[in-house]
Chains A and B, each alone.
Chain A
Amino acid sequence: MTLARWLAAIWVSKVLIGFSHWARRGGSSFPGRVARRLCPQVLTRLARQLRWGGIVVSGTNGKTTTSLLLANMLAASGMKVVHNRTGANLTAGVTAAFVQACSWTGRLDADVAVLECDEAALAGVAREVRPLAGVVTNFFRDQLDRYGELEAMVTKVGSGLAEVSHQGFVVLNADDPAVAGLAQQLAARPVFYGLDDPACAGVGAGEVSDARRCRACGGRLQYKVFYFAHLGLYYCPHCGAERPRPGITVTRRESLGPGGSRLEFAAPSGGLGASLALPGLYNAYNALAAVACALTMGVAADTVAWALANSASSFGRMEPVVVGGRTVILALIKNPAGCNEVLRTILEGTGDRYLLIAINDLTADGTDVSWLWDVEFEELADMAHRLPLVVASGRRGEDMAVRLKYAGLSPAAIVVENRLGDAVQLALEQVPEGGTLHVLPTYTAMLELRRILNDRGYGRRFWEV
């Protein structure tokens, strides 16, 4: 009976995965759900076969990019890696990744699993997988209507990380007070990473008060340096708590514009330098998180550097597609901190910028669009002379248009077109030959855009990325 259920779970699920690929619909959680229904222990039994163990990657922003970079580094070091690479980061998606990787008899020939986990799903995944390592990127205000409050989310992630074996380690962002505070409740050893380059200092969080409270005493944190949002060199003037000293750091970041950056890392095992083909300071943080985890696992520095330099952009994050002699760059936006960084990256340099911002309010996007008012769209207004036209689209395109108007853009420079296909067409008509259209979609708008571009014969199918 047990064997029958086990095989049935794997066979049915594998067939469904194959079917969803054939139907050109990636990222479905359905096969994983079916497998779990047929055999509730399927994930535990598959994960147990990993020769090294599992790594869970979580946090509000950058977990897809971080886990992709980490998976590439581990693969480059010769390990066989299981990875839920389509961004299916709930328990069902993680299960599907394992089912896909195992044989028809349920045998898994793999060393390590790099598992991107949604913050709410982490605890459940960790209980079943019993990970040997964890990585946490940051906690920005993100889709709080799903979780209630940021505090509750941090607590949830903390309880998930408590499942990481005491023989293992958890890689934490020292520059984010809420992430660094997780070190208190771990059985595993904390490994801190952080930025150590004063040239990266930014403007800070403004009035957005995400996580700038002292974890120990509740007082308001002071910052010696802000890198971005609430990430930086903080200390508490009330109780003396401060940012832990990170063992693995970025000591120098040189921006290469929208093309990426050159990074220098310092670690106890020695330094390394690498170019990263992903733009923005936020991606430097993602790379740093992956580097910290790989180095702690003993991967050689030159292997890590090679993998960084050769990692294509993770699905949908600043991924270029060429359409009729024009480049379309998709950059996922989902919360203020991430969106601010995307805007900053797009506006780097000179010349006109063509923008399409697509806001949906489905469950996967977050049904509350009020976060748009915490984004510094005022920075666009400062550059209004470089923005011939901004197209606002998606189910809440009107909300976006109002936000842009109140940011200071002229209503004459804003066009609302709710239908994404028409919006892309309209925006592309404005872009000169050889020019670039920057598209900033929320999650479901990104999936829809990708489908539209695929149907018109452009772009890659996303399970191939």
Chain B
Amino acid sequence: MDITICHLYPDFMNLYGDRGNIIALQRRASWHGLHPRVVPISVGEEYDLRSCDIIFMGGGQDREQRAIARDFDDRYRVMNEAVQDRVAVLAICGAYQLLGRYYRTAAGEKLNGLGLLDSWTDAGAPRLVGNVVVESRLDGTRRTLVGFENHGGRTYLGPAAAPLGRVLAGHGNNGVDGQEGAVQGTIIGTYLHGALLPKNPWLADYLLGQALIRRGARHQLGALDDTLEVSAHQAAIRRARG
């Protein structure tokens, strides 16, 4: 069975090893017996996002975020249609901010986001940097997510968005309310780099599983040998809590 992963703006929004998430989705899909295909889509390229199964978008520096802002805004309609059609979305850091309602810069300028997440972000100082451990119940069981955050923005969630998890170590969305990331419908937003998915294989499989459910596929994801991944996950927990 084919799985199509759309990598949005791989040439602009790809900071701190974010492409590792694409590598992880691709590899794990193959190991699960699926046939993954990655479609890179950049500024000015038309693409019906409903025709893919998973949309991924990474972080970027301010300069890069500005470069794609216009194009991303133009994609509101197709993006919204894809989300209504239950296409899974994973947005990291800068992409997470852009999916919210707005981003207010340090100078007080308000930049509109797509508003697909009920969230907003204010610039802040100092930057929130370091290892993070999050407890998440996204797939119904109590899981941990590990990663590395590095963001100036403080993100807050409105009632329509739920946090991805609770911060056990690190700062999370804003360093104040103990929340990290956002989940709304099929969209997952988070500040965690790492890359995120290789060290949190359960989340990679969750995304692949969502794609299969949407397609009404009978294919079940089996268990893989994740010894190395789980060791890295545990080492990251020790490092963050140490």
* B20 lies within 8 A of A373 (CB): yes
A402 touching B199 by the CB < 8 A rule? yes
Is A367 touching B130 in the complex (CB atoms < 8 A)?
Answer: yes
B77 close to chain A: CB less than 8 A:
no
Closest Cβ of chain A to B112, distance in Å, is: 19
Is A372 interfacial (CB 8 A cutoff)?
A: yes
A252 close to chain B: CB less than 8 A: no
Considering the complex, which residues of chain B in the window 225-242 have a beta carbon less than 8 Å from any beta carbon of chain A? 225, 227-229, 231-232, 234-236, 239
Contact B17–A373 (Cβ < 8 Å)? yes
A368 to B240, CA, bound (A): 12
Determine how close the nearest CB of chain A comes to the CB of B151; give it in whole angstroms: 10
The answer to whether A402 and B198 touch across the interface, beta carbons within 8 angstroms, is yes
By the criterion CB–CB under 8 Å, are B20 and A207 in contact?
no
Contact residues of B between 3 and 28, Cβ < 8 Å to A: 10-12, 14, 16-20, 23-24, 27
Cα–Cα distance between A416 and B227 once the two chains are bound (Å) = 11
Residues 52-70 of chain B, each 1 if its beta carbon lies under 8 Å from chain A, else 0: 0000000011111011000
Complex Cα spacing A144 to B127, Å:
12
Q: How many A-B residue pairs have CB under 8 A?
A: 105
CB nearest neighbor in B for A372: B17
Q: Is the CB of B127 within 8 A of A148?
A: yes
- Select one of B10, B198, B236 contacting A406, CB under 8 A: B198
Contact partner of B235 among A145, A367, A398, A403, CB < 8 A?
A: A398
B20 contacts A411, C-beta separation under 8 Å? no
Q: How far is the CA of A212 from the CA of B64 in the complex (A)?
A: 10
Q: Which residues of B contact A8 (CB under 8 A)?
A: none
Q: Which residues of A contact B236 (CB under 8 A)?
A: 398-399
Greatest chain B CB density within 10 A among A212, A367, A372, A398 is at A398
Q: How far, in whole Å, are A213 and B64 apart by their CA atoms in the complex?
A: 9
Q: Please, which residue of chain A has its CB at the minimum distance from the CB of B242?
A: A395
Q: A426 in the interface, Cβ–Cβ < 8 Å?
A: no
Chain A residues with CB under 8 A of B24: 406
Contact A213 B19 (CB under 8 A): no
Min C-beta distance of A136 to chain B, whole Å: 20
Shortest beta-carbon distance, A357 to chain B, in Å?
Answer: 14
Q: Are B232 and A402 in contact (CB under 8 A)?
A: yes
Closest CB in chain A relative to B78 CB, distance in Å: 22
B235 to chain A, nearest CB (A): 4
The answer to whether B150 and A373 touch across the interface, beta carbons within 8 angstroms, is no
Give CA–CA (A422, B18) in the complex, Å: 32
Min CB distance, A372 to chain B, in Å? 7
- How many residues belonging to A are interface residues under a CB distance threshold of 8 Å? 36
Q: Is the CB of B14 within 8 A of A208?
A: yes
Are A144 and B150 in contact (CB-based, < 8 A)?
Answer: yes
A398 contacts B63, C-beta separation under 8 Å: no
Known: A368-B150, A402-B199. A209 touches B11 (CB 8 A): yes
Q: Mark B142-184, 1 if CB is under 8 A from A, else 0.
A: 0000001010100000000000000000000000000000000
B195 within 8 Å of A (CB atoms): yes
Are A373 and B195 closer than 8 Å at their CB atoms?
Answer: yes
Within 8 A of A (CB), among B83-100: none
Q: Determine if A414 is an interface residue (Cβ-Cβ < 8 Å).
A: yes
- B195, B225, B239: the one within 8 Å of A370 (CB): B195
A128 at interface, CB cutoff 8 A: no
Residues from chain A with Cβ under 8 Å of B129 in the complex: 145, 367-368
Interface string of A408-441 (1 = CB under 8 A from B): 0001001010000000000000000000000000
Contact indicator A370/B235 (Cβ below 8 Å) = no
The minimal Cβ–Cβ distance linking B100 to chain A, given in whole angstroms, is 20
Residues in chain A near residue B67, CB distance under 8 A: 213, 218, 220
Whether a CB of chain A sits under 8 angstroms from the CB of B113 is no
Inter-chain contacts of B131 with A (CB < 8 A): 367
Among B11, B12, B228, B229, the one with the most A-chain Cβ atoms within 10 Å of its Cβ is B228
Looking at the assembled complex, report how far the CB atom of B201 sits from the nearest CB atom of chain A, in whole angstroms.
9
Contacts A208-B14, A369-B148, A406-B24; A416 near B231 (Cβ below 8 A) = yes
CB-contact partner of A374 in B17, B198, B227, under 8 A:
B17
B63 touches A370 (CB 8 A): no
Listed residue (A374, A396, A414) with the most chain B CB atoms within 10 angstroms of its CB: A374
Shortest CB distance A327–B (Å): 29
Does B193 reach chain A (CB closer than 8 Å)? yes
Q: Which residues on the A side are within 8 Å of B60 (C-beta)?
A: 209
Minimal beta-carbon separation of B14 from chain A (angstroms): 6
B147 closest partner in A (C-beta): A370
Q: Tell me which residues across on chain A come within 8 A of B23, comparing CB atoms.
A: 373, 406-407
The answer to whether A368 and B199 touch across the interface, beta carbons within 8 angstroms, is no
B134 smallest CB distance to A (angstroms): 16
**Complex: chain A residue closest to B151, CB-CB:** A148
Q: Does A361 contact B (CB under 8 A)?
A: yes
Hey, which chain B residues are within 8 Å of A395, CB to CB? 239
CA of A431 to CA of B235 in the docked complex: distance in angstroms?
Answer: 28
Complex Cα spacing A218 to B235, Å? 40
State which of A207, A209, A371, A402 has its C-beta within 8 Å of the C-beta of B229.
A402
**B16–A405 contact, CB under 8 A?**
no
Is B228's CB under 8 angstroms from A398's CB? yes
Contact of A149 with B by CB under 8 A: yes
- Would you call B194 an interface residue if the criterion is a C-beta within 8 Å of the partner chain's C-beta atoms? yes
Bound CA span A151–B27, Å: 33
- The reply on A401 being an interface residue by CB < 8 A is yes
Give per-residue flags for A352-386: 1 if the beta carbon is below 8 A from chain B beta carbons, else 0.
00000000010000011111111000000000000
Does A401 lie within 8 Å of B232, measured CB to CB?
yes
A150 interface residue (CB < 8 Å to B): yes
Which of A148, A368, A396, A416 has the most CB atoms of chain B within a 10 A radius of its CB? A368
| B228: contacting residue among A144, A367, A396, A405, CB under 8 A | A405
B66: which A residues are within 8 A, CB to CB? 218
Known interface pairs A151-B61, A209-B64, A368-B193; A402-B148 also in contact (CB < 8 Å): no
Residues of chain B lying within 8 A (CB to CB) of residue A368: 16, 129, 148, 150, 193
Residues of B within 8 A of A397 (CB): 235
- A residues adjacent to B (C-beta < 8 A): 144-145, 148-151, 207-209, 212-213, 218, 220, 361, 367-374, 395-399, 401-403, 405-407, 411, 414, 416
Q: 27 A-B contacts, Cβ less than 8 Å apart?
A: A145-B129, A145-B150, A208-B14, A209-B12, A209-B14, A218-B63, A220-B11, A367-B130, A367-B131, A369-B148, A370-B20, A370-B148, A372-B20, A373-B18, A373-B20, A373-B194, A374-B17, A395-B239, A398-B236, A399-B232, A402-B199, A402-B228, A406-B24, A406-B198, A407-B23, A411-B225, A411-B228
Ranked nearest first, the 9 interchain pairs of A and B with the lowest CB-CB distance are A373-B17, A373-B20, A370-B17, A398-B232, A398-B235, A370-B16, A373-B195, A402-B232, A398-B231
